[in-house]
Chains A and B, each alone.
Chain A
Amino acid sequence: MSKSEEYDVLVIGAGISGEEAALNLANQGYKILIVEKDLSVGGKMIHLSKVFPTLDCSACITTPKVSETARHPNITIYTYSEVSNIDKKSKYDFRALLTKHPRYVIEEACTGCQLCEEACPVTVQDQYQYDLVGRKAVYVPFSIANPRVAAIDIENCSLCGACEKVCPADCIDFTQEEEEIQIKVKSVVIATGFKLFDPTLIPRYGFGVFKNVVTAMQMERQLVPTRPYNNVLRPKDGKVPDNIAYVLCAGSRDETVGNPICSQVCCMYSIKQAQLLMGALPMADVTIYYLHIRSFGKGFNEFYQQSKDMGVTFIKGKIGKIEEIEEGNLKLRYEDIESGVVKEANHDMVVLSTGILANDGISSMFKDKLELDPFNYVMQKDILANPAQANIGGVYVAGTASGPMDIPDSILSAGAASAEIAGYLKEGEDHEK
Chain B
Amino acid sequence: MGKTIDIIKKTRGVPDSVKENMKAFNKIKRQILKSLETEEKTVPQIAQEIDLPLDVVTYHLMTLQKYGNIEAGEVDDMDEFYFYKLKK
Interface residues of A (CB under 8 A from B): 117-118, 121-124, 132-134, 136, 154-161, 164-165, 172-175, 211, 228-231, 233-240, 283, 328
Query: Quick one: closest A residue to B72, CB to CB?
Result: A230
Q: B55, A235: Cβ atoms under 8 Å?
A: yes
Q: A122, B21: Cβ atoms under 8 Å?
A: yes
A174 CA to B10 CA, complexed, in Å: 11
Q: By CB atoms of chain B within 10 A, which of A132, A236, A239 has the most? A: A239
Instruction: Tally chain B residues at the interface, Cβ within 8 Å.
Output: 38
Q: B19, A240: Cβ atoms under 8 Å?
A: no
Interface CB pairs A-B, < 8 A, 20: A117-B67, A123-B21, A123-B25, A158-B22, A159-B14, A164-B5, A174-B4, A175-B7, A231-B72, A234-B58, A236-B54, A237-B47, A237-B55, A238-B43, A238-B58, A238-B61, A238-B81, A239-B43, A240-B82, A283-B79
Q: Which residues of A contact B47 (CB under 8 A)?
A: 237
Q: Is B12 an interface residue (CB 8 A)?
A: yes
Q: Is B31 an interface residue (CB 8 A)?
A: no
A236 CA to B25 CA, complexed, in Å: 18
Q: Mark B48-84, 1 if CB is under 8 A from A, else 0.
A: 0000001101111111011100001001000111100
Given the contacts A121-B26, A158-B19, A237-B54, A133 and B12 also touching, CB distance less than 8 Å: no
Per a CB cutoff under 8 Å, which of A121, A132, A160 touches B62?
A: A132
Given the contacts A230-B82, A235-B55, A235-B59, A240 and B21 also touching, CB distance less than 8 Å: no
Q: By CB atoms of chain A within 10 A, which of B18, B47, B65 has the most? A: B18
A260 CA to B81 CA, complexed, in Å: 41
| Shortest distance between the CB of A8 and any CB in chain B (Å) | 37
| Shortest distance between the CB of A112 and any CB in chain B (Å) | 16
